Structure 1
Amino acid sequence: MSPGSAPGFSCAPAGKFSWPAEFLREDRRCFSLNSNNISPVIPLRPRWNVRGGEAGAISSLASSIRALVEQEVKNCANPRTQKLYKKLQAQDLKVLAALLINRGVDSGQGALDFLVPDLARLHPWQLLPDIDKAIARLELARQRREKVFIHGDYDADGITATALLVMALENWGLEVRYYLPHRIEDGYGLSRAGINQGAEEGCSLLLTVDCGISNPDEVELAKSLGLDVIITDHHLPPQQLPRALAVVNPKLADSRYPFPELAGVGVAWKLACALELGSAVNAACLQLAALGTVADLVPLTGENRIITSLGLKEINASPLPGIAALAEVAGCQLGHLDSQDIAFGLAPRLNAVGRMDSPMPAAALLLETDAVSAARYAQVLDEENRLRRQIGEEIFAQALVKAEEQMRLGRRLLVLHGRDWHAGVIGIVASKVLERFYRPTIVLCGKEELTGSARSVAGFDIHAALLAVSGHLANFGGHPGAAGLTMAEADLGPLVLALEEYAVEAKLDSLLQPVLKLEASLGPEDISMELVDTVALLRPFGFGNPEPVFAVDGF
């Protein structure tokens, strides 16, 4: 086995790393909007960042882990955990300690919490803002036999969150209807069409998942139609919150919840945990929570790591029919699914239907109890994913031409517009353009009224940037790393200029050098199966807990 092919980590021979040519052309000097006194910006070569920790801290943590393991192994009744403890006893632990320090772990107990995910280490759901109000209103709905209307979102996070709460609330004794918005027809967030459908179906309580925090007008519409509104969301809240009965969001300014990085499905799962459901339903809900958490690219640390680790165990032990069917068409091995299988196999297919058409078949798949029917739904998702890839590649080729021209103009942010581009793939295109040129990227489509998707480089808050130029936008929402927006085509030119001016003020130039983050520098003699086993202890990998990459000297 070659060092670079060992499962769970990568080795980059020192000095042999290559980067796209766009970064490396020394003669390719860029010029920007000089007429507005914005100085030129030049593409920078990538730099290496070897994060190897301080030797004393590494030894101290390794000793602390060993001491705790020797105590825990004596009283451990769980065979799986005892096997892990014995594996740790047999290792040197210094490499493991260095990897954990790079992930913010600095104590022996913190290390065991990271390595042995346990539901007992979750924060109490009672700490989430307004969750007591939400539970009380749901209990009243159960007593009154009211219909509850769940409004989700069209991405994998919103789809899994919707399926999770439909499953949980129906098991709890409520009559539930649900709606997932059409990306093109309804747009981003809580939709008027969905609200109207809920009212027409006789629902008196609207529960949002993965949306609603940026929709004050739509909340007022729902209330005017006789629906009480509970918002569950994880997106950054605006200054003025919607006037809902309850707003359950760990990112609220006054939130006491210790872990603000839950996905939308994570917030929905915490609400389901408060219902005290049976073990079978809890296990099914945990599978959906893991699926959506990985798909939404939230950091796989803290509670997200617990949800993902234990949810994957449930999936591999007894997958829901919909998840099993989805894994089958994605070519993933049932019983051995990991976070990478979700990220690159299952999640793209869940997202594809919401990108290309209605996401409702994806929710139906996850809620399906019959294996044959689930297989039919999975085939639909797989075909939509093929179409999404084909259209995405065509638009990416067109976007590259526009991006290269803007790079020649020295733009700090790339703002790309195609009137006939498909709204369902512009987020993927934005990510690929960013990866190619390492510039915050906004990709827009449409005529007169534009829909856009934004992606950003590390350290540059694209949500804050959009807030600063919001006078040119109709609506926007999202996170520091990714956002969605709508705007008038007539405002496109002023928006570009305003973003460039903001980028200069925010010192974006200092963030435009790509960084290859390396865990440590190794010699060939350091590469062994014990190293592979050590790295495997950090699974599941994902955003916030990447697969380790090492520099190797002496090749």
Structure 2
Amino acid sequence: MTSFCLQSKLNIIVPSNSTRYIAEQLDCPPLVAAVLELQGRVSPHNIDKARAWLCPSLDFLLPQCYLGASAEEAARMWHRLPSLGNVVVYGDYDVDGVASTTLAMEICCSRAQGVRFYIPHRHLEGYGLHRQALLQLVEAGCNTLMVVDCGTKDTSLLAEARSLGLNVFVFDHHLPDREDISDPYVVNPQIDGDMETRRLCATSVLWLWAFLFDIMPKKWLYERLDLVALATIADCVPLEMLNRSLVKEGLDVMRSTPRQGLRHLFSRLGLAPYYLNEEQLAMKVIPCLNAAGRLSFADLAVKVLVGEEPGVQNVEELVSLNRKRQNLSSRITREASKVAEEKDRHVLFQESWPIGVLSGVASRLCSERNVPVVLAAPVRNWIRGTLRMPAGGNAVQVLDCISDRLEAWGGHKQAAGFSVSKENWQDIEIDLERMLSNVECEEPEISAINIHPSQINMKTWQSVADLGPFGIGNPYPLLFCEKSEDEKILPLGKTGTHLKIQCGEDSLVAFNGVHVLNSIASSNIAGWVYHPRFDYWRGQLRLQFMLDYVIIEP
């Protein structure tokens, strides 16, 4: 999505003698050395730091990880049990939830009489453990309850489950309440894990626990890194050394031996597994998997990941739900943007909005406006909301201030959700608006390497792509080229919203660029910030240049 940036906020990096020296020492192209310098991963005096980043080793990283004291306690209980009996995996409805649910089921299969899963309905039940559901599982003959991607705050319900005779394991990554967590079997590195494991999503927490404590064979676990990669990218956790390595290996699994359900989904989306990358997962695959829990039951996404038949039919249903989600999101984005701009509001509420699509819309509005955003809508007797924060804000701290009046809440610094009774909503709405109006957001600054698209070929960019996967914590390297007099701005596609900027023989693709460029005088444009990407189109691999920012003079 194309946006604009003031020239004063752009830091242009020009490759220097130090860049050439680093390239020589690492035996890599100068552009790779420039990217490493841009990201602060190398200096002429510390070349070894970059070597570790260029060639990460899970075999080296994993044994150093510490998930917290409860991880060992949970492993002792696991190995002590002669059988798990009838297992129910209790998960969550987003991609991390369905991926960790799938992984937990596959782990339990070898030691259980039967394995089922339960994911609460987003609209009818909401996030976390629910007592009524727990009692129904007990009545149905559940012996072992494995809770994934939730459960940290449900201490009393976990104790009740154990009092009813269940073996209970919890694998989560959500921030705990301020009071100490006393449950010895809640495996959550946010409680007392090391800094690296605190960056993990729930699927990774479960996978790493199984790896560190010999729950499953190492080869078997490496074959399940596809689930870890999906969940890690979907949950937008920082791609530092460990997460980046896990995603890198997981992408290799999906490229070489994709599980049956994903293979059907890749085919339906026109993706060639061999050329699959993190951007395609984030933009195409993950939205489809998320659509199930947003508009219907998340069970469908689990069925696709497990490979349950009829596979093609399940995938078609996912794609159809995602198309519906896209249409709803577009409509709500227009409605919410209009209200936010006209009334200068951070907290937006509408009776008719379906809660399942609001998180994506809130993320988009937060990104476009660089302000905190709450979108809320009624669900039966409750008001459910989603809060998104730009850099500089903390969603968890905001909700913690009003937690005594919330029915449920949880999340991360940049994204959180909550439920409140209809009776309390008006007061909560006023307090949230007041707090969010006072949040000091950081004005984003952009750094980009000065290089024209004509100087980049597929071989050069493949060397840069090997520094990925890219995302939060390992941002996509941005490049800059000055505006020239002979450039042409041309329409692109059938919708009338996209453009391409013709720069000699190369072009920059500007998604939704019409709105941005129509609001800027051509004489004020100083240049373009873009990034290359590989695109597989009609059987051919090609290099595209995607416009990120139009740089404007004051």
* TM-score, length of structure 1 as denominator length: 0.78
Query: Alpha carbons of 1:106 and 1:401: their partners in 2 closer, same or farther (altered >3 Å)?
Result: farther
Matched, 1:191 2:130: yes
Matched, 1:468 2:401: yes
Matches within 5 A, 1:62-141: 63=21, 67=25, 88-89=27-28, 94-101=33-40, 107-124=46-63, 127-129=66-68, 130-141=70-81
Q: Is the 8 A contact 1:46 1:516 kept in 2?
A: no
Matched, 1:307 2:225: no
Distance 1:148 1:480 in 2: 33
Query: Alpha carbons of 1:374 and 1:117: their partners in 2 closer, same or farther (altered >3 Å)?
Result: farther
Query: Alpha carbons of 1:284 and 1:494: their partners in 2 closer, same or farther (altered >3 Å)?
Result: same
Query: Alpha carbons of 1:340 and 1:179: their partners in 2 closer, same or farther (altered >3 Å)?
Result: same
Distance 1:320 1:529 in 2: 29
Query: Alpha carbons of 1:136 and 1:442: their partners in 2 closer, same or farther (altered >3 Å)?
Result: same
Distance 1:124 1:53 in 2: 39
Q: Is the 8 A contact 2:119 2:299 kept in 1?
A: yes
Counterpart in the other structure of 1:535:
464
Matches within 5 A, 1:472-551: 472-503=405-436, 508-509=439-440, 511=441, 513=443, 515-522=444-451, 532-551=461-480
| Correspondence for 2:193 among 255, 279, 298 | 255
Matched, 1:419 2:351: yes
Matched, 1:342 2:271: no
Q: Does the residue aligned with 1:552 lie in a helix, a strand or coil?
A: strand
Q: Does the residue aligned with 1:230 lie in a helix, a strand or coil?
A: strand
Query: Alpha carbons of 1:173 and 1:474: their partners in 2 closer, same or farther (altered >3 Å)?
Result: closer
| Correspondence for 1:285 among 199, 221, 224 | 224
Matches within 5 A, 1:437-448: 437-446=369-378, 448=381
Distance 1:103 1:485 in 2: 42
Equivalent residue letter for 2:176: P
Query: Alpha carbons of 1:551 and 1:289: their partners in 2 closer, same or farther (altered >3 Å)?
Result: same
**Residue 180 of structure 1, CA deviation:** 1.3
Greater shift in the superposed pair: 530-539 or 313-322: 530-539
CA displacement 1:6-59 (0-9 Å, x = unmatched) = xxxx9x9xxxx737xxxxxxxxxxxxxxxxxxxxxxxxx795242749968x55
Counterpart in the other structure of 1:150:
89
Distance 2:373 2:436 in 1: 12
CA displacement 1:51-94 (0-9 Å, x = unmatched) = 749968x55xx756755x5xxxxxxxxxxxxxxxxxx3565754
Equivalent residue letter for 1:437: R
**Residue 400 of structure 1, CA deviation:** 2.3
Equivalent residue letter for 1:262: L
Matched, 1:436 2:365: no
Counterpart in the other structure of 1:397:
334
Counterpart in the other structure of 2:204:
266
**Residue 482 of structure 1, CA deviation:** 0.1
Counterpart in the other structure of 2:503:
none
Distance 1:268 1:125 in 2: 16
Distance 1:201 1:136 in 2: 27
Counterpart in the other structure of 1:236:
175
**Residue 233 of structure 1, CA deviation:** 0.7
Q: Is the 8 A contact 1:214 1:241 kept in 2?
A: no
Matched, 1:319 2:258: yes
CA displacement 1:442-472 (0-9 Å, x = unmatched) = 1111065201111111111111111123244
Q: Is the 8 A contact 1:523 1:554 kept in 2?
A: no
Counterpart in the other structure of 1:72:
none
Equivalent residue letter for 1:426: L
Q: Does the residue aligned with 2:274 lie in a helix, a strand or coil?
A: coil
Task: Say which structure is richer in strand.
Answer: 2
| Correspondence for 2:4 among 18, 33, 37 | 18
Equivalent residue letter for 1:179: Y
Query: Alpha carbons of 1:201 and 1:328: their partners in 2 closer, same or farther (altered >3 Å)?
Result: same
Identity of aligned residues (%): 28
Query: Alpha carbons of 1:401 and 1:497: their partners in 2 closer, same or farther (altered >3 Å)?
Result: same
Q: What RMSD in Å do the two structures reach over aligned CA positions?
A: 3.1
Q: Does the residue aligned with 2:174 lie in a helix, a strand or coil?
A: coil
Q: Is the 8 A contact 2:87 2:112 kept in 1?
A: no
Greater shift in the superposed pair: 355-364 or 239-248: 239-248
Greater shift in the superposed pair: 472-481 or 312-321: 472-481
Q: Is the 8 A contact 1:392 1:428 kept in 2?
A: yes
Counterpart in the other structure of 1:368:
307
Q: Is the 8 A contact 1:230 1:244 kept in 2?
A: no
Distance 1:463 1:105 in 2: 40
Distance 2:118 2:411 in 1: 21
Equivalent residue letter for 2:482: D
Counterpart in the other structure of 2:516:
none
Equivalent residue letter for 2:207: W
Counterpart in the other structure of 1:74:
none
Query: Alpha carbons of 1:207 and 1:433: their partners in 2 closer, same or farther (altered >3 Å)?
Result: same
Q: Does the residue aligned with 2:349 lie in a helix, a strand or coil?
A: strand
Q: Does the residue aligned with 1:190 lie in a helix, a strand or coil?
A: coil
Counterpart in the other structure of 1:50:
11
**Residue 179 of structure 1, CA deviation:** 1.2
Query: Alpha carbons of 1:54 and 1:114: their partners in 2 closer, same or farther (altered >3 Å)?
Result: same
**Residue 427 of structure 1, CA deviation:** 0.6
Q: Is the 8 A contact 2:34 2:449 kept in 1?
A: no
Distance 1:432 1:93 in 2: 31
Matched, 1:165 2:110: no
Query: Alpha carbons of 1:91 and 1:449: their partners in 2 closer, same or farther (altered >3 Å)?
Result: closer
Query: Alpha carbons of 1:440 and 1:503: their partners in 2 closer, same or farther (altered >3 Å)?
Result: closer
**Residue 439 of structure 1, CA deviation:** 1.4
**Residue 552 of structure 1, CA deviation:** 2.2
CA displacement 1:320-343 (0-9 Å, x = unmatched) = 101111212222112211111111
**Residue 148 of structure 1, CA deviation:** 2.8
Unaligned 5+ residue runs, structure 1? 1-9, 20-44, 70-87
**Residue 191 of structure 1, CA deviation:** 2.6
Counterpart in the other structure of 2:539:
none
Query: Alpha carbons of 1:105 and 1:428: their partners in 2 closer, same or farther (altered >3 Å)?
Result: farther
Query: Alpha carbons of 1:226 and 1:339: their partners in 2 closer, same or farther (altered >3 Å)?
Result: same
Equivalent residue letter for 1:177: R
Equivalent residue letter for 1:362: A
Distance 2:359 2:141 in 1: 35
Distance 2:156 2:64 in 1: 29
Equivalent residue letter for 2:375: V
Q: Is the 8 A contact 2:38 2:447 kept in 1?
A: no
Q: Does the residue aligned with 1:150 lie in a helix, a strand or coil?
A: strand
